[in-house]
Amino acid sequence: MRLRPGNQSCIAAAFSNGVTKSDELTKLLHDYTNAIRDYEYLNTLIPITGSQARNQRLDIEQAFAEVGNLSEDPGTYRRLPDTSMLASDPLRDILKAILPKYLT
């Protein structure tokens, strides 16, 4: 199979620096996969209230003036779950009410 002179430059460009179109596509798909995974994780975080968002925004704007033109939607602010809170269930609540404080 003979290549036309115009096609040789396209193939040479595809293999320049050892990177093929397949490698570029693989990297792009990997980046998209990471972005989707990050988006799913961020959506699992807990949204903060409007007043908390305004306070956070003021703190951020004081440190970074360029943030002032971003969305003011409080739903864009999220927080990690509070790990200091223990899970509660009916049995635990009953035991806490009946047992002395030093046992609970």
In this structure, what DSSP letter does residue 48 have? Answer: P
Quote the CA–CA distance of 88 and 95 in Å, as a whole number.
Answer: 11
Note the pLDDT of residue 3: 47
| Residues forming a β-bridge with 79 | 46
Give the global pTM: 0.44
Note the pLDDT of residue 90: 85
Quote the CA–CA distance of 56 and 67 in Å, as a whole number.
Answer: 12
Q: Which residue has the tokens 């903060």?
A: 48
Note the pLDDT of residue 34: 95
Encode 80-92: b = buried (16+ Cβ within 10 Å), e = exposed: eeeeeeeeeeeee
Q: Mark the ranges of the chain whose per-residue pLDDT is less than 70.
A: 1-19, 67-75, 83-86, 104
